[in-house]
Amino acid sequence: MDDNAAKIAIASDHAGLDLKEKIVKLLRELGRPVADFGTHNHDSVDYPDYGIQVARAVSEGKNERGILICGTGIGMSIVANKFPGVRAALCYDPFTAKVSRLHNDANILVLGERVLEEKTALEIVRLWLSTGFDGGRHARRLAKIEEIEKAERRTKE
């Protein structure tokens, strides 16, 4: 993996900014390089404008993994999962964080600042980054998702 791909791409809207800043700090403490796509202040912004940047970077392989934060995590999930190859997981506790990696090989973690305690959110990030993909039957299922993406692309051509 090249140096840029190893960077964790991260972005939030205004409703996820405070948690984003805490996560960026944690990532730096963990020695994980970060590509921060904003937002950088509390002015009201539209989450698709920020979600698209991380989702596109992961979809195109510029960054292997990303993290998106909005108020609930729902808007960012909807945006991110529009992109081919993106497997964005809205996680709300350590269990879903772990299983999103083990079973779904999630490449974008989505969090809702308004629905999570800070301590839980940071625990989710740590677990999500340190858990690998289990492969096996789960790889077969992911291959089916890839097939769906390809078939949808073909029907639109």
Residue 91 catalytic? no
Q: Give the CA-trace dihedral at 64, 145, 149, 94, to 10 degrees.
A: -40
CB of 90 to ligand RB5, least distance (A): 10
Residue 70 catalytic? yes
- Structural tokens at position 74: 């729902």
CB of 57 to ligand RB5, least distance (A): 20
CB of 72 to ligand RB5, least distance (A): 4
Closest CA to 107 of 144, 62, 50, 64: 64
C-alpha dihedral sign at 2, 132, 26, 46: positive
Q: Which of 71, 87, 105, 120 binds ligand RB5 (CB under 6 A)?
A: 71
Binding mask 28-57 for ligand RB5 (x = CB under 6 A): -------------------x----------
Q: Is residue 58 a contact partner of residue 85, using CB atoms and an 8 Å limit?
A: yes
**Catalytic one among 40, 91, 103, 138?**
103
The piece of 30-38, 57-65, 72-80, 87-95 that touches ligand RB5 (CB under 6 A) is 72-80
Annotated active-site positions, please? Answer: 70, 103
Q: Which residues of the shown chain bind ligand RB5 in the complex (CB under 6 A)?
A: 13, 15, 47, 70-72, 74-75
